[in-house]
Amino acid sequence: MENTRSRGTPQAKEIESERAYLLRYARLQLRNPAQAEDAVQETLLAAIEGAARFSGKSSLRTWLTGILKHKVIDQLRRSAREQPLEAADDRAEAEAIDALFAGDGHWRDMPSDWGNPDAALENSRFRAAFELCLQRLPERTARAFTMREVMEMTTPEICQELQITSTHCWVLLHRARLTLRECLEITWFDGSRR
């Protein structure tokens, strides 16, 4: 998957050809498909209007992804205003995490051996299972996690965006990883596989 390496002003057609990639990126962040479409549409329009500003120093894809990040954050802010996060969800999530550990703080179940990670990553069915697990994460946890892992934002950047403390941010990221781990353990690496 080579990036387009054109120098000079990119044509609308070249920009449009990155739509599928951008949509995939947006969908990992925004669970509402209409919002993901909107963010991508706005990105493509902004890119076509501002094509002259593309310096050619980075790849076209990198430049477009930079624009998309801002559009995704705009969408996240919009949905945060529309649907405030529920304290009850937070409690339910904390309880689910507590249930993974025994009273003495050790794992309740033995985490299984996932074998060769490269083999899993190469398997498109594994990636589909992973995305399903991602969809099941509670909203705010998913937001923090995808900001960290998809957009590669730093903890301070995430804290600022979500208006939370760094401790809270680490809690959310830890929950996301534990929940995803548990979900994959059950849906992919179950006992029948190894």
Tokens of 29: 């962040």
- Among 149, 144, 152, which residue's Cα sits nearest to residue 175? 144
Using CB under 8 A, list all residues that contact another protein.
1, 20-21, 24-25, 28, 101, 104-107, 110-114, 117, 120-121, 126-127, 130-131, 134, 146, 148-150, 155, 169-170, 173-174, 177-178, 180-181, 184
- 12 or 132: whose CB is closer to another protein? 132
Closest separation between CB of residue 162 and another protein, Å?
A: 14
- Of 74 and 101, the one with the shorter C-beta distance to another protein is 101
Q: Which is nearer to another protein, 84 or 103 (CB)?
A: 103
Show the CA angle centred on residue 161, arms to residues 181 and 98, nearest 5°: 30
Please give the Cα distance from 54 to 7 (Å, whole number). 9
Nearer to another protein (CB atom), residue 51 or residue 59: 59
The phi and psi torsions of 101 (rounded to 5 degrees) equal -115, 145
Q: How far is the CB of 52 from another protein (least distance, A)?
A: 27
Across the chain, which distance is largest between two alpha carbons, in Å? 62
